[in-house]
Amino acid sequence: MSRYRGPRLRVTRRLGELPGLTRKTARRSYPPGEHGQGRRKRSEYAVRLEEKQKLRLNYGITEKQLIRYVRKARRSTGSTGTALLELLEMRLDNTVFRLGMAGTIPGARQLVNHGHVTVNGRVVNIASYQCRPGDVIAVRDRDRSRKLVEANMQYPGLANLPSHLEFDKNTMTGKVNGVIEREWIALQINELLVVEYYSRKV
């Protein structure tokens, strides 16, 4: 399954608020489609599938990538669900978004892919790059890159900077001081249901 490129508000109406996908809010509160306003009982599988889709669409990853992250999270110590969220939050595109350099994760991915971001002084154009404590993330030292990020910073994505990050607006430089804590993850999700969804598939 490829990366989602369809209407974003349609997704947020169905799954609820996805802070990484869009800043817009839907005018209608019920799900889209002919039966959107009808009440229906959802199966346990449907609930787990919905939680998985929230995670996949918020972080803008493919099904294949998510399966790889689940496998990696299983190999780590501690809670698989928390480890999975930490892996996704420490991606470079998400870190750029959380630093306020872009309004959404797709916007941050575009900045990274087009070579506007440096990590430890070197241009990194791989959105899935895993940031580590001590990494210094900055805007590339050229006018075009700086103007793009300055324009993005007029409309910040999330209001609060997570405790594991620091950002200097004057130099447009951020630093990763540690691994994100669970309470700083903005997405409203039950990660255990995602792990349960993949328990038989992976």
Distance CA 199, CA 172 (A): 42
Share of the chain above pLDDT 90, in %: 31
Out of 8-22, 32-46, 154-168, give the one with best mean pLDDT: 154-168
pLDDT for residue 34: 47
Distances (CA, A) of 138 to 2, 5, 36, 145, 165: 29, 27, 44, 10, 13
Per-residue pLDDT at 42: 75
Q: Which CATH architecture has domain 92-178?
A: Roll (3.10)
CA dist 150 and 183 (Å) reads 28
Domain boundaries, the chain: 8-87+185-198, 92-178
Q: Is the pTM of this model over 0.85?
A: no
Position 159 scores a pLDDT of 63
User: To 10 degrees, what angle do helices 143-153 and 105-113 make?
Assistant: 180
Determine what percent of the chain is predicted with pLDDT higher than 70: 77
- Per residue in 66-107, pLDDT (tens digit) is 999 999 999 988 889 999 999 998 999 999 988 888 888 888
More confident residue, 173 or 33: 173
Domain covering 8-87+185-198, topology: Ribosomal Protein S4 Delta 41; Chain A, domain 1 (1.10.1050)
Burial of residue 104 (CB within 10 Å: 0-12, 13-18, 19+) is: buried
pLDDT tens across 16-59, in order? 666 666 665 556 555 555 455 555 677 888 888 888 888 888 88
